[in-house]
Chains A and B, each alone.
Chain A
């Protein structure tokens, strides 16, 4: 069996058996995550899997069994991840959330995590419904789409990608659970990003949102998906292979020396470093109800939360023992002078 550079097999990145419905998009995402983590040579013990509540949030139990996981409460994946990452900056946080979890009950936490730019991978497994509570609309359901009972959605969807961009996120992507070729390298790049890497993954709910009228069904996505680029990830140590011919490809260097290689798939002038262009493409896609996938926006030269002067905790806080940090009585007396 093959091994990654840590001498681990892919099996060691797998988790417990899934209890989701057979065919659920979320399970495919889990599989792609396993592949990406394995191929990225991520040390399993440094992975912290954190999620909220929902079918999607259950999946933290289904990959990297040996890592610590935390299936917390509905809508709080973002602040819990924030606390965990600040406590131990060495952790590779994989945050898994749902569209209900992030676009409704956890919207505040979502936006503020991005604003702070907490270094982590933030995945929303987006099916347009609340799977776990049996199929009610979520806020990402498109206007005009229906739930299984036939009820109509009257409101515009919340587009998490554009919201991520306006919240200051420097890595914004959309993908489809069924597109391994695109998703695996996207996750790999996300793992190497120096800040929050957000991926909105359209992930059909086969039980409650795979009907005619859903804009997040397998059929709908397959017919209306528009892939912006062929996405490649080149790890730091690898030579850039000749596949990526200059001119047809855009190379984006990440902070650790790895590269994202984007190969154009069509005539569009799309460039993911162009904020305004990305915004308008997202809006067009939303209006036309197409599923625009790929790396939508990237901004590499941003400070993450732990690089600001106010919060630069170089040693992980969890390793700061009493002997190392407790101030002494003399210092206390100095301070107390002001209260005498």
Chain B
């Protein structure tokens, strides 16, 4: 049987180097021309706890997570029982027989194949430490044979991965060879995947959203990044520094950027405000707990109108929640972060390309609108492997907003005067050599020339102008994506659920039901969002959180749609699997209503 869709689960123990083995296998599939994605389901721990790696191969281009697998590769005795629950009946389990598992204890639903992976690794090296790592590499050989991949493709990937270390390459190749040989000699139950299109990925890359975002910031003109380490956002900051060291450093070592690891998130965001106030394009990446700590400064940015960007790679909360699992749990908190009236601009990329683009877009908007921009991605998009078209540096000019230089400023200058009647005022930067340029930034009540006032009317006018500034410039925010609005029913989603939703829609279509689709990329919403909801009899809003945060924002903004929009939620920390959504949509369409 030719397999057009296949999900396998590699169950390992974290801290054993399984990450490289998994990446090598995924990349080999990628280079062979398969549509593949890899999701690391890992614990908040450095070594010794269970980690699963879900790989999906799909002919039609679908890349959503599937919570049911057709093959289990088990390197972890302690989770075998759990892992096999997610395995379709009749599937095979390949396990490391050096772990002394007893096949008689196993459920009868599955077929078991033991391979002495550790022994195979021991054939290659002696040192116990290396054996541990190479044991994982042997299963790459096993999988290469089982899926009938071209061994040379795998070898090339290994060589490229450990380029600078020829010895490491050699050991890994040998380990893969051992696994491969063993499989050839002992198993004849291989998997026949669909014939790949060799050119499918010729112009593609396979990467995670944090890396793409980091590159996007480098290309988008981010001068300054401050951060406090927190999963799943750390790799964004680390990659920004890494690529800036390469791309934003002069030959003499002079840096054209700065990256500061702050003492906490209170400082990280404050540094961004200081830098933004002084005229640099600045950002701080974080995740939910950090976002909470940034709340006070978020209000300052909003009210004193200081450019700033927070890039929140969401994880499952509240509190410390499931720190290494995915969720879209910070949406409402981001939208209204801080005290008083603050309604922030929130941008929500949903693809690797958008992670790249939104670096520049968010920095532009922060300077154009002179306010905080919060970008929301999540662990799934930020840290997992997604195929994407090659990233393209934008040819656009960076938008630096309304800044007056020394020659443009005069005695008439008032920091908060709405000269152009678009809510956006002109600002000056410290260091501007003109005595009229200076003004006093404060978070307290201020009048047009930025001096202190508690005058009620002025306060009201100012807050209203700030609202107008954002609301009348919604067109500058990334437009929602929509597939049309001719049908009666629709699904609205945002961020990383895009693949699961489009796949659901395709599955429904195969059953004869055409459903429209919209992916929202920004808050406050564009007018198109309202039109879209109004144009449909029923719309299902997909949220990766318990409370249906997007659903409630939509209802808040468009209350007249209250009986037309339905909330679908998924919040167990795993990426969305389409099956539940599909059932839900069918139920709603069949006449289900609000409970």
Contacts and interface: CB of A to CB of B under 8 A. Distances in A.
Interface in B230-267: 243, 246-248, 253-258, 260, 262-264, 266-267
Interface of B: 30-31, 160, 201, 204-207, 211, 215, 218-219, 221, 223-224, 226, 243, 246-248, 253-258, 260, 262-264, 266-268, 270-280, 282, 296-297, 300, 390-393, 397-398, 428-444, 451-452
Top 6 A-B residue pairs of the complex, sorted by shortest distance between their CB atoms: A83-B274, A79-B270, A83-B271, A87-B280, A68-B430, A79-B267
Nearest to A83: B274
B223 A69 contact: no
B300 A73 contact: yes
B273 A80 contact: yes
B289 to A, nearest CB: 16
Interface string A58-69: 001100111111
B226 A322 contact: no
Nearest to B352: A339
A318 B431 CA distance: 10
A325 B248 contact: yes
A318 B271 contact: no
A75 B293 CA distance: 13
A66 B437 CA distance: 7
A interface bracket (residues with beta carbon within 8 Å of B): 35 or more
B274 A66 contact: no
Contact of A71 (B206, B256, B443): B443
Contacts of B398: 322, 326
B260 to A, nearest CB: 7
Interface in A298-340: 309-318, 320, 322, 324-329, 331-333, 335-336, 338-340
Interface of A: 12, 16, 43-48, 50, 60-61, 64-73, 75-76, 78-88, 90-91, 108-109, 111-112, 116, 309-318, 320, 322, 324-329, 331-333, 335-336, 338-340
A339 B273 CA distance: 34
Of B272, B279, B442, the most chain A CB neighbours within 10 A belong to B442
A84 B224 CA distance: 10
Given A68-B431, A313-B254, 10 more contacts: A45-B434, A66-B438, A70-B441, A73-B300, A83-B224, A83-B282, A87-B278, A311-B260, A324-B256, A335-B247
Given A84-B278, A336-B205, A317 B247 contact: no
B256 A317 contact: yes
Contact of B439 (A47, A68, A324): A68
Contacts of A64: 438
Nearest to B444: A71
A207 B278 CA distance: 36
A312 B254 contact: yes
A143 B473 CA distance: 56
A339 B392 contact: no
A84 B274 contact: yes
A292 to B, nearest CB: 29
A83 B31 CA distance: 43
A72 B397 contact: no
A326 B215 CA distance: 11
A214 B279 CA distance: 43
B270 A80 contact: yes
Given A71-B443, A88-B279, A326-B221, A320 B256 contact: yes
10 contacts: A72-B270, A79-B274, A80-B271, A88-B279, A90-B431, A108-B267, A109-B267, A310-B255, A313-B258, A326-B221
A120 to B, nearest CB: 11
B235 to A, nearest CB: 14
A225 to B, nearest CB: 34
B205 A325 contact: no
Contacts of A71: 440-444
B265 to A, nearest CB: 10
A81 B274 contact: yes
Nearest to A88: B278
Nearest to B452: A61
A107 to B, nearest CB: 10
Nearest to B254: A314
A87 B275 contact: yes
B257 A317 contact: yes
Contacts of A91: 278, 430-431
A79 B271 contact: yes
B215 A335 contact: yes
A73 B443 contact: yes
B288 to A, nearest CB: 20
A82 B218 contact: no
B510 to A, nearest CB: 33
Of B160, B219, B226, B268, the most chain A CB neighbours within 10 A belong to B219
Of A48, A79, A338, the most chain B CB neighbours within 10 A belong to A79
B251 to A, nearest CB: 12
A314 to B, nearest CB: 5
Contacts of A65: 438
Given A45-B435, A86-B260, A331 B247 contact: yes
B254 A48 contact: no
Nearest to A69: B440
A61 B440 contact: yes
Given A46-B431, A329-B393, A315 B271 contact: no
Contacts of B221: 322, 325-326
A33 to B, nearest CB: 16
Contacts of A73: 270, 296-297, 300, 443
Contacts of B280: 83, 86-88, 317-318
A329 B255 CA distance: 20
B290 to A, nearest CB: 14
Contacts of B300: 72-73
B275 A83 contact: yes
Given A68-B439, A71-B441, A327 B262 contact: no
Contacts of A318: 223, 278-280, 429, 431
